[in-house]
Structure 1
Amino acid sequence: MEEAAGMLKAVAHPVRIAIVELLDNGARRHVTEIFEQLGVEQAVASHHLAILRNRGVLSQVREGKRMYYFLRHPRLAEIVDCIKYCCAN
């Protein structure tokens, strides 16, 4: 139960929710793609990526000079979608 609460707490920020949505469906993205698509500064994206990585939400893999991020638990995006649906109704 504590692990689930920690994961939900880690995602509980609009930028981090947007990152989870970007990485839905098994997508892997590097930090440049993420900050450009979100329209935030690179430092902001890197800060939120670090939080998600440290809480076990994201994993990363290096390819050449780039670090790619992906959801460690792909079904987490479905939970975020469910919460958004509940808030809309």
Structure 2
Amino acid sequence: MFDPAANDWRSWKLPGDEPQAYAVYVDERDKVWLTDFSANAIVRFDPKTQTFASFPSDRDNANVRQLNGRSGEVWGAESGTDRLVLIETETGK
């Protein structure tokens, strides 16, 4: 994250032993969403609280990859299961 007032960058290590971020999406509330290929999950980062929340797939070898969204929704693609998954961002489900 870049702070223009301080002209400084800040970064956070992703959770897990060997995270593999694949795609990133920032929602309308400035939450950062990403897919973690090695964790088979979609991950949310809240820069205000500096906390991560993980939403793992309920299927083995889902190969969570692409990510996009629109107001109130984040959509992830599982290439290993040939399906799309929806997280409603208002409820976190």
- TM bin, normalised by shorter chain, reads under 0.3
- TM-score (norm. length: structure 1): 0.22
- Structure number with the higher strand fraction is 2
- TM-score (norm. length: structure 2): 0.21
- Structure number with the higher helix fraction is 1
